[in-house]
Amino acid sequence: MAVTMNDVARAAGVSLKTVSNVLNDYEYIRESTRQRVQAAIAELGYEANLTARSLRSGKTKMIGLVLSDLSSPYYAELASRLMSVAAESGYRVLVEQSNADPAVELAALRGPFRQLTDGLLFTPLSMDVEEVESHRGAKPLVLLGEHILDPRLDVVTMQNEVAAAAVTSHLLESGRRRVAVVGAGIDDTTGSPGLRMNGYRAALADAGVPFDPDLVVPGDWRRDGGADAVAALLERGTQFDAVFGLNDVLALGAMHELLVRGVKVPGDVAVVGFDDIDEASFSSPSLTTVSPGMDEIVRRSLALLLDRIEGREKTAGGVHVESDFALKIRESAP
């Protein structure tokens, strides 16, 4: 059997509650008592039972991270950093993969997953703001990644539209005129795909380049999605001199397909992405992309969430944070 507080109390000759007080840094404890208890703890090798603590205190010291798929590099890096940063504050991260499935997202908001965590960092992929708002429970919730300015919700977001416009403009400024965009449908206007598309269209408009629906190709946000999209473009004979993959893996998949088919990058077709995953610096050619400020997103979303959890942030309405972005110009689109 594991050592309990009771054993420690007995060994130190104090009450159970005094041991608890020592553990919780209660102010009024005689120094000699504290040391006696600490000694007993050390001698017996006592470790607090986290489950009992959670039951009694109602806190789990875990935060939940809901994302579509941990094997996607962007989310893997995000989760990895979040875990490291959260650990500094004594929190663990429990990850839930939604696969963009509405049922799973809903379950993450209200089900057992919620119970296990003190607060949620949530990437809504299939739900809209209203659904999130109506199903979120009482515990703190910070939305991640979307550019949603709902006054009821805390949101930490990257500048999807502006950054997408910037990277598109970069292509246009280098003389490209037929920029294919991969990873969204023409009708998308919300969510990361839609917002980045908006940025794309804004940049075109800005440069006086007409929007051509033929250049828009939907695709799963995976490498093969990018490859398939390029294959489709080439097979239907659509002319293009650049590809904007709405995230890096799409762009890298697209680039792979271009190169396999003998299309020169950036000679014939320039390629840009979005996210600046580690791989983008090491592909051949290296990938021009947008760094959305992941470090800032991680730190600030966690800070906001912990402020809510620990009752420091009292703002009634939603707090909105937007990270800086940076254009990373590399070989695929100089």
Residues of the shown chain interacting with a second copy in the complex, contacts defined by CB under 8 A: 47-52, 54-55, 60, 69-71, 73, 76-77, 79-81, 83-84, 92-95, 97, 111-113, 115-116, 223, 227, 252-253, 255-256, 259-260, 278-279, 281-284, 286
With contact defined as beta carbons under 8 Å apart, do 141 and 119 qualify?
yes
Q: Binding of DNA at residue 138 (CB under 7 A)?
A: no
Strands (E), the chain: 62-67, 92-97, 119-122, 141-144, 154-157, 179-182, 216-217, 242-245, 270-272, 289-291, 320-322, 326-328
Choices 12-20, 67-75, 222-230, 324-332; region in contact with DNA by CB under 7 A: 12-20
Task: Classify strands 289-291 and 326-328 as parallel, antiparallel or unpaired.
Answer: antiparallel
Give the residue among 104, 124, 129 at the shortest CA–CA distance from 114.
104
23 lies in the site for DNA, by CB under 7 A: yes
57 binds DNA (CB under 7 A): yes
Instruction: Please select the residue that binds DNA; options are 55, 103, 205, 326, rule is CB under 7 A.
Output: 55
Q: Does 24 bind DNA (CB under 7 A)?
A: yes
What proportions of the chain, in percent to the nearest 5, are helix, strand and coil? Answer: 45, 15, 40
Q: Rule CB under 7 A: is residue 26 a binding residue for DNA?
A: yes
Q: Give the binding range for DNA (CB under 7 A) out of 51-59, 77-85, 187-195, 218-226.
A: 51-59
Binding segment for DNA among 8-16, 95-103, 144-152, 279-287 (CB under 7 A)?
8-16
Q: CB under 5 to 8 A by kind: which of DNA, a second copy, none does 95 bind?
A: a second copy
With CB under 7 A as the contact rule, the residue among 10, 38, 44, 53 that binds DNA is 53
Comparison of 60 and 160: residue with beta carbon closer to a second copy: 60
CA-based diameter of the chain, in Å?
Answer: 84
Residues whose CB is less than 8 angstroms from the CB of residue 151 and which lie 6 or more positions away in sequence, other chains included: 317, 318
DSSP 50-108: HHHHHHHHS--SEEEEEES-TTSHHHHHHHHHHHHHHHHTT-EEEEEE-TT-HHHHHHH
Query: Could you tell me the two tokens for 189?
Result: 């206007």
Q: Which does 35 bind (CB under 5 to 8 A by kind): DNA, a second copy, none?
A: none
| Residue 14 makes contact with DNA by CB under 7 A | yes
DSSP state of 286: P
User: Could you say whether residue 264 binds DNA (CB under 7 A)?
Assistant: no
Please give the Cα distance from 251 to 242 (Å, whole number).
11
Closer to a second copy at the Cβ: 209 or 259?
259
| Interacting residue ranges for DNA, rule: CB under 7 A | 1-2, 4-6, 14-18, 20-21, 23-24, 26-30, 32-34, 46, 48-49, 52-53, 55-57
